[in-house]
Chain A
């Protein structure tokens, strides 16, 4: 299974390049042309990304994040989400690498195949790092409704976590 997915990406490249050369595309020139666009893209997203990461570090260092987790734990318990995974749920929208670290922490602490661990995995996969996606995608665009879209995404994510944890019980 894992081996198959390891093959997927190299195959995508090989097939694309062969197909392109059949269509008489100059693959090298074309690739370079595309690669050229990477630098302006990064330059345009950097300031937004930097500000968001700065804020999320601040959130963590100030202890506000931990406080929030403490407050929200009863709410999670009410919805049937194990409180042990609350920190993961809160960090996931902010930081991808942070949530991966926290996930492996939880898996080690409570056992890989426990109910808590499986809930944690589902919670981790339920959505993307919402704030990061927002910072990257809408860098430079001014949209009044972006905040609303952000709230919708967060709500959908939390709903999916509750739903997913319930599903873990059955399966």
Chain B
């Protein structure tokens, strides 16, 4: 990330140095002020969703959902951590329902919980890939725009979109397994046994 940031930053600054040196600072400030506005909007939405999340947690909904899809999440993310699995399962369900606002706070807390576990490197990368390529069942915003512009059949993109997003998630998961898997602990079946022995690195 550090290399990526530095390269892009220097390349952009270099271009601006020639084209428009006065615009440099103003575009930096413009960017950060945009993010400040975004954070205020996010704060409002997180407050609502984190409140609801707490109600779910206290009434046992979270635990129920987590238990239901645990067999899948456990293998996909290669972790046994109860807390992380709980957040992951809620993050996934919110993503699929298309409630991005609810998915994000769960995702952040899942990432924080995963950070303390053994397989963190792999698990958190998988969490990121799944979220970045998230399967959304209904692209509500796009349909909204199409309706507003008077489309003849605004929902005819739902199926191709669904296929494309499922495809991207599938490719993402596959590649993560291929490239980021820890070779010292190859299969999830042996995961438990090896946890005692070869736990170094």
Binding site for B on A (CB under 8 A): 1-2, 5, 8-9, 12-13, 16-17, 19-20, 23, 25, 27, 30-35, 37-39, 41-42, 44-46, 49-59, 61-64, 100, 103-104, 107-108, 112-113, 118, 121-128, 130, 133-134, 136-141, 143-150, 152-153, 155-157, 159-161, 163-164, 167-168, 171
Contacts and interface: CB of A to CB of B under 8 A. Distances in A.
A16 B55 contact: yes
A46 B43 CA distance: 10
Contacts of B136: 125
A2 B151 CA distance: 14
Interface of B: 1, 3-5, 8-9, 11-13, 15-16, 19-20, 23, 27-28, 30-32, 34-36, 38-39, 42-43, 46-48, 50-61, 97, 99, 104-105, 107-108, 111-112, 115, 120-122, 124-125, 127-129, 131-134, 136, 138-143, 145-147, 149-157, 159-161, 163-165, 167-172, 175-176, 179-180
Contact of A137 (B3, B12, B131, B141): B131
Contacts of A59: 8, 12
A143 B124 contact: yes
B30 A149 contact: no
A152 B142 contact: no
Given A52-B35, A128-B134, 8 more contacts: A31-B51, A45-B39, A53-B32, A54-B35, A61-B27, A141-B124, A149-B132, A164-B161
A53 B35 CA distance: 6
Given A16-B59, A121-B146, A164-B167, A127 B31 contact: no
Which secondary structure dominates where chain A touches chain B? Answer: helix
A5 B191 CA distance: 41
A41 B108 contact: yes
Contacts of B42: 42, 45
Contacts of B146: 107, 112, 121
B154 to A, nearest CB: 8
B11 A64 contact: yes
Contact of A125 (B8, B38, B112, B161): B161
29 contacts: A5-B140, A16-B55, A25-B55, A31-B52, A34-B52, A38-B46, A39-B43, A41-B108, A46-B36, A54-B31, A54-B32, A58-B31, A63-B19, A103-B145, A121-B161, A125-B136, A125-B139, A125-B142, A127-B168, A128-B133, A137-B127, A143-B125, A148-B179, A150-B1, A152-B179, A153-B128, A155-B175, A160-B164, A164-B161
Nearest to B107: A137
A150 B9 CA distance: 18
Nearest to A48: B35
B156 to A, nearest CB: 7
Contacts of A104: 145, 149
A149 B176 contact: yes
